[in-house]
Chain A
Amino acid sequence: MTTPLETFPEGDTLTAIALDLPFDVIVWDDPVTLMTVVTRILMKVFAYPKQKAYRLMLAVHEEGRAVVWSGELNKAEAYCVRLHASGLLASVEPSS
């Protein structure tokens, strides 16, 4: 079977393919941020309904981190910037 990397051996194209892979926006738990604040920020940044934001907040709280969004790298980075600007610990990494 041919993998995408074998199909496009050129450096620039490889980069483009890599950028097309999904990336996760991760929110990390911390000891000072209130649960209500995390929920509100997720609603504000992603326009999630309260129930979804609350469920994701609980996942962050209980597991130490949670994937709150997945998709294109540039959008993931833009979301991460907004999360940082709202005061949440967040990062972007390739989807596993």
Chain B
Amino acid sequence: MRSSLRRRVAVWLLPPLVLLLGVNAVLSYRGALEAANQAYDRSLWASIKSIGESSFVRNGVVVVDMPHSALEIFAEGGQERVFYAVIGPDGALLTGYPDMPVPPVVPADGVVKTMDATYKGDAVRTGAMRKRLYDPAGKGDDSILVLVAETTETRTELARNLFFDSLRRQLALIALGAVLVLVALGTAFRPLLRLRDTIRNRSEEDLTPVASEDVPSEIRPLIDAINHHMGRLSAMLDARKRFLADAAHQLRTPLTVLGTQAEYGLRQDDPAEMRRTLKGIVRSIGSARRLTNQMLSLSRAEAVNGLIRERSRLDFADLVREVALELSQLALRRQIDLAYEGLRGGLMVEGNDAMLREMVANLIDNAIRYTPAGGQVTVIVARESAEAVTVIRDSGPGIAPDERGKVFQRFYRSLDQSETEGSGLGLAIVREICLAHAGRVSLDAGPAGRGLAVTVRLPLVKAL
């Protein structure tokens, strides 16, 4: 297992090398044979040519005056047996050995054709040439066929020697190559193996980035990706921890209130007073439920932050209008004038429908809750360059400028708003969802310095 990477590369590299060696060996042998033939065929050519040149017609009879060199040429540096024949125009043997092998095609005149054949059971290399005699008395075809063959021991031996020489060299090269590959694999994978050991030996808690200084450049992107992922994991883990701590802390408050209310109710004898206490308890429970619901929403929003899968193209203006309409009942109950101004559709954004509804509902709900009866909440939707801009304005108490940054934190509640039922999670949820959709959210004072204006900017889908 420890060297599996090396083994993989070796397995992929070495058998193909051996295969290449095999292919190369076949080619080398053919090449060697060809080279040997090329070298030794010259004697055949010379011999055949000289026999051809010494053949002529005298008084209508073909005379072959075997030149001495035609056969002696094979004695020079060769130890081959030699066979020859001259065949007349009528196909009869004029001189030489009978039944010599003849190449199937012999060119017309003066061209030597060579081939491998067997003669009397021995492998021979044979050459053939047609030679025209231009016999004045000849009738049409007056060409003789000159054949010379030699046994192939010398050629085969030369080819074999050449072949084994090159094979030895190739084997040495392959062996050297294999050693180099093994060494190279060892060196190339050492940083990777070291890295693996580093990561394996880390403590479970350790989410700090892995050092990427001395890793090969090919692996650096992988390290960077791992580090990036670990960074996100670590941030998320932190957020979860904080959230858990905050949530526990927050839930303690309504529970304490409930406890106090219940104890108070127990001490009462007056049924009317007990009933009032119970009502108070129900209200407290409602408040606690709202808190838990919102915590759930926030948790969902945070979980999907950055990795919202279900995105679709939707009309944000319609979405805002629909949410405002849903909340108009609440506004009516609270005697607040809820107004919608702006576009009727045509603001396409890409996002998660449920999350965006949650965000808008939170904003409008907040505005309604924090605005005293008889006040006014205005929802404005507009297009500004490539953004859908939504402004929710109320005529409530507003938020002091130095507090505006803090209200996006979880469970933060403005001190002078403490009597209002609220979890302090609404704006935190808004911010998470907004960020998840690559948007921005900001707080300003309302017109004429009164109330609060929340502005949400979301990028529009690029026009097609």
- A and B are interacting partners: no
Chain B interface residues (CB < 8 Å from chain A) = none
Chain A interface residues (CB < 8 Å from chain B) = none
